[in-house]
Amino acid sequence: MEEDCGMDDGALAVRLAAADHVGAAGEALLDHLMADGWPLPSLYLESGGRLRCQGVRGYWQVLDGIPPGVGVIGSTFAGGVSQLVRRDDHAVFLEAVPDIAVEVCAPIRADGRVIGVVSVESHDDLPDDPLARLERCAALYANRLTALGGPPQEFPAQRLGRHASRLAELTDAEEIHEYTLAAACDLAAMSSSMIVRFDEAGSPQLCGRTGLLASPNVPLSTDGMATIASWVAPGTSCYTMGEASGAGFLGHEVFRDAGACAMIAVPLSARGQRLGVLVVADAAPIQPRTDDVGLLDLLATQVAGGLLTAKALADLRDSAARDPLTGLGHHASFNAALTAARQDTARPQAVILIDVDRFKQVNDTFGHLAGDEVLIDVAAALTGALRDGRSMYRIGGDEFATVVDGVDEDEAMAVAARLRAATAAAGHTTSIGVAVAVAGESDKALLARADTALYAVKAAGRD
C-alpha cells in the first residue's frame, strides 16, 4: 500500500486492463485518481496541434483547445517535464476555478513522444511526492492507450478547421499556395497535389505542385492545364473511381502517365470569381469518399477567398507606395530603394534627380489639368528610357528620381543623357543632376550632392 495516497498503482492497472477502448481507458484513469483522493483531475490529449480535453472529474466547466506552451497544462506538454505549480508563485498558472492553491501535471508519453498530459488541481496541498505518483499513473495509462491503438484520430472536420484557421492567418499568395498543397494532401490522404490558377488574361498558370505531379516526366502545357480546369468549370468537383480500366475525361492521360491511380479535382472559386483548380493525386487506386471530396471543396473555397484577400492587400500596399497621378513610386519608396541599393557596398550607386523645366509656367498659363498631363507624359518617357529593371520615382511636384547601381560617373551621365533625350522627344525639357556615391557617404549627403548638381544645371539655363 502506498503511503502518499490511499490506493496502490495495481488498482489502476486493473481498471485499465478492463478498458476495451481509448475512451474507457481515460475514464478508468480519472476514476482512479478521484478514488485515490485527487480532487480535480483532468486528461488532455494532443489533436491538431491543440490539447483536447478527454475527460475531467469535479468540474462544471473546463478549458479546451489549449495551445502548447500555454498554462501549466500547455507548458508541461511542450516541455515534456512534470510540474508542481502553486498559484502565487508561477507565471504560467491560468486562473480558472477560484482559490486553487496548487496544480500538478505530468506528461503522457507514447512511442517516444509526448501525446498529452494528466493534471490535478487542488484547493489544498496535495499529499507527499505527488509528481512521482502522477507520473506512474500517466505511464500506466500510456501503456494501455498504446495497446488500444493509440490516441484517437483527429476528426476530418477538425482537420479542416485547423487548416482553415491557419489559412486565415496568411496574407501572401505564395505562402497560401505552399500551405494549400500540404493541407490538400492531408485532407484527401493522398501524396501529391497541384494548383493551377488563371492570370489576368485568363490563361492557366502552374502555381505549385508536389509529389508525383511534380515529376519532370509530367508535361503540363497551357492547353493541358486549361483542359484540367475545364473539368470543374461549372463549379463541380471530379474524382476517380479506382477502376484501372475505366474511362477518363479528356486530358486525363497526363495523370495516368505520371503514375497516378487516384485523383480529385476541385474548383478554386470565391465571391463569384473562378480562380483555378486544386488537384490531389496518389499512386494507389484509392476511391475517394464523397465526404472527403466535400472537405476538399470547402478547403478550396477557403483558399480562393484567402487568395482574393491577399491580392486586395497586395494591391492596397502597391497603391500606398505609388504616386496616384503617374503610377510611379513616391518619395518614401525612393528612399527605401536607395537604402536597399546602398547595402551592396561592392557596387557603386548613383542618384539621378530630374526636374521639369518651367513647370510652374505651364500650371499658371494652362491650368493644373494641363500640368498633370505634362507630368504623366514625362513619367512615361523617363520610365521608358530606364533599363535593367530600374525604377523611376516621383519625389515632388515636378521632381523625379532614380537610383542606378553598378555604374561609374561616365556611365551615370550616359543614363542621365538618355533620360533627357527621352523627355525631349516627348516635347518637354528637363534639368538633371547626377551624383555617384563615394565610400562612407551617407544617403543624405549623396542626395544633397545630386540636388546641388541639379540646381547648378538650372542656374546655367536649364535643359
Asked if 341 and 283 sit in the same domain, the reply is no
Out of 124, 147, 170, a domain closes at 147
Q: Give pLDDT tens digits along the chain (463 positions).
A: 333 444 467 899 999 999 999 999 999 999 999 998 889 999 999 988 899 999 999 999 999 999 999 999 999 999 999 999 987 766 777 778 888 889 999 999 999 999 999 999 999 888 778 999 999 999 999 999 999 999 888 888 889 999 999 999 999 999 999 999 999 999 999 999 999 999 999 999 999 999 999 988 778 889 989 999 999 998 999 999 888 778 889 888 888 888 899 999 999 999 999 999 999 999 999 899 999 899 999 999 999 999 999 999 998 888 888 889 999 999 999 999 999 998 887 788 999 999 999 999 998 899 989 999 999 999 999 999 998 888 999 999 999 999 998 889 999 999 999 999 999 999 999 999 999 998 888 999 999 999 999 999 988 876 6
Report if residue 324 sits inside a domain.
no
Q: Are residues 177 and 315 in the same domain?
A: yes
The verdict on residue 359 lying in a domain is yes
- The answer on 105 and 141 residing in a single domain is yes
Does residue 302 fall inside a structural domain? yes
In total, how many domains does the chain have?
Answer: 3
Whichever domain contains 36, its CATH number is: 3.30.450.40
228 and 301 housed in the same domain: yes
Shared-domain flag, residues 312 and 262: yes
Statement: the pTM of the whole predicted model exceeds 0.85: no
Residue 160 lies in a domain: yes
Q: Give the structural domain span for 134.
A: 9-147
Of 147, 180, 196, the residue that ends a domain is 147
32 & 171 share domain: no
Q: How distant, in Å, are the alpha carbons of 205, 270, 272, 274, 383 from that of 199? A: 7, 16, 16, 11, 25
Co-location of 178 and 206 in the same domain: yes
- Whether 58 and 161 map to the same domain: the answer is no
**326 located within any domain:** no
Pick from 286, 319, 352: which residue ends a domain?
Answer: 319
Q: Tell whether 2 is covered by a domain.
A: no
Same domain assignment for residues 99 and 180: no
Alpha carbon 247 to its chain centroid, in Å, reads 38
Shared domain for 87 and 132, answered yes or no, is: yes
The DSSP letter of residue 61 is: S
Judge contact between 433 and 463, C-beta under 8 A: no
Same domain, 175 and 118: no
Distance of CA 427 to the CA centre of its chain: 48
Q: CA-CA distance, 242 to 455, in Å (whole number)?
A: 77
Question: Residue 450 belongs to a domain with what CATH number?
Answer: 3.30.70.270
Determine, yes or no, domain membership for 325: no
Grid cell of 339 as nine digits: 537604402
Residues 358 and 395 in one domain: yes
Contacts of 37 (CB under 8 A, 6+ apart): 5, 6, 127
Answer whether residue 54 is part of any domain: yes
